[in-house]
């Protein structure tokens, strides 16, 4: 992975990696042998061959590498929330981690005015293709041997963005497979089936006009005496209906 990243940096940016800062973990420096001494591993030897200076932090002091530790914590919190608020299994945490990294590379930070994507490709990123991770979708996968009467779309879940094509990644819960396609309809406004459900309060407000007491006297044209007093009474407490606020659970 690091070799591929090193070649991409040199070809795309015309720059060379001069220093790598990490902890003294076994994947970076090396594992302990039988005598209890930590010997340099393949990654440490590769840095030495390329002339890259390694900078290691002291064991048990993650605060010395605070920037990387804080970003790892942010990614872990994002992945946890993405999985908890979806119907997808925890085995897809890797896809959620890639999607979280994809999003963070395209949003600004407090320390740098430009995004990481803009610093890499020298143009502003587009956010129009962003969708809610884990939302249901109707996607059309590529089937070279499908017949004319087969269903064109499949019900699945959105799990990320493609690295090679301008398309999306979807997870089929029935076949438990992952495929990529650029033709899909996303349903982001429906209620998710995660563990943490938020109550949806619906407040209905109605106005009520109470008429005043009016006395009306009707006269006959031929007779000056009043025919009948017409009285419109105001509604009493018994026949007055008051609409209260209603709450509706999801």
Task: Tell me how crowded residue 139 is: count the other CB atoms within 10 A of its CB.
Answer: 24
Q: What is the pLDDT of residue 134?
A: 93
Tokens at residue 2, please?
Answer: 């690091």
H-only helix segments in the chain? 2-12, 42-50, 66-84, 93-104, 116-121
Distances (CA, A) of 222 to 107, 158, 218, 219: 88, 84, 12, 9
86 within 8 A of 80, measured Cβ to Cβ: no
For strand 226-232 and strand 214-219, is the pairing parallel, antiparallel, or unpaired? Answer: antiparallel
Sheet holding 154-161, edge to edge: 177-181, 168-172, 154-161, 136-139, 184-186
List, for residues 230-243, the tens digit of each pLDDT value: 544 555 555 544 44
d(CA 167, CA 181): 5
pLDDT band at 161 (very low <50, low <70, confident <90, very high): very high
Lowest-pLDDT choice from 63-72, 159-168, 222-231: 222-231
% of the chain exceeding 90 in pLDDT: 28
Helices (H) and strands (E) in the chain, counts: 5, 9
> Is this prediction's pTM over 0.85?
no
- Judge whether residue 90 has pLDDT over 90: yes
- Looking at the predicted structure, is the pLDDT value of residue 201 above 50? no
The string of pLDDT tens digits covering residues 91-139 is 999 999 999 999 999 988 888 888 888 888 888 888 889 999 999 999 9
The residue written with tokens 């690091």 in the block is: 2
**DSSP secondary structure code for residue 228 in this structure:** E
Q: Is 90 helix (H, G, I), strand (E, B) or coil?
A: helix
pLDDT for the residue 208 = 59
Spatial contact of 202 and 247, defined as CB atoms under 8 Å apart: yes
Taking the C-alpha atoms of residue 96 and residue 155, their distance in angstroms, rounded to an integer, is: 19
- In the DSSP assignment, the letter for residue 63 is G
């Amino acid at each position: 992975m690091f070799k591929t990243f090193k070649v991409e940096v040199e070809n795309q940016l015309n720059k060379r990696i001069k220093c790598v800062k990490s902890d003294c973990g076994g994947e970076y420096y090396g594992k302990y042998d039988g005598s209890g001494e930590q010997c340099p591993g393949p990654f440490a030897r590769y840095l030495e061959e390329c002339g890259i200076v390694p900078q290691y932090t002291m064991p048990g002091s993650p605060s010395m590498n605070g920037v990387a530790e804080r970003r790892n914590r942010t990614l872990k919190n994002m992945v946890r929330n993405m999985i908890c608020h979806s119907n997808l299994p925890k085995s897809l945490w890797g896809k959620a981690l890639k999607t979280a990294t994809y999003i963070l590379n395209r949003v600004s930070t407090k320390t740098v005015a430009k995004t990481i994507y803009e610093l890499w490709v020298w143009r502003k990123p587009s956010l129009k293709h962003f969708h809610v991770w884990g939302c249901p979708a109707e996607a059309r996968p590529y089937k070279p041997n499908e017949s004319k009467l087969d269903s064109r779309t499949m019900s699945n879940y959105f799990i990320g963005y493609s690295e090679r094509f301008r398309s999306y990644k979807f997870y089929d819960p029935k076949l438990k497979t992952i495929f990529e396609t650029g033709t899909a309809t996303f349903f982001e406004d429906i209620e998710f089936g995660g563990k943490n459900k938020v109550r949806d309060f619906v407040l209905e407000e109605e106005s009520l006009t109470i008429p005043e007491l009016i006395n009306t006297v009707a006269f006959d044209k031929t007779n000056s005496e009043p025919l009948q007093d017409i009285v419109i009474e105001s509604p009493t407490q018994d026949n007055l209906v008051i609409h209260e606020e209603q709450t509706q659970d999801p």
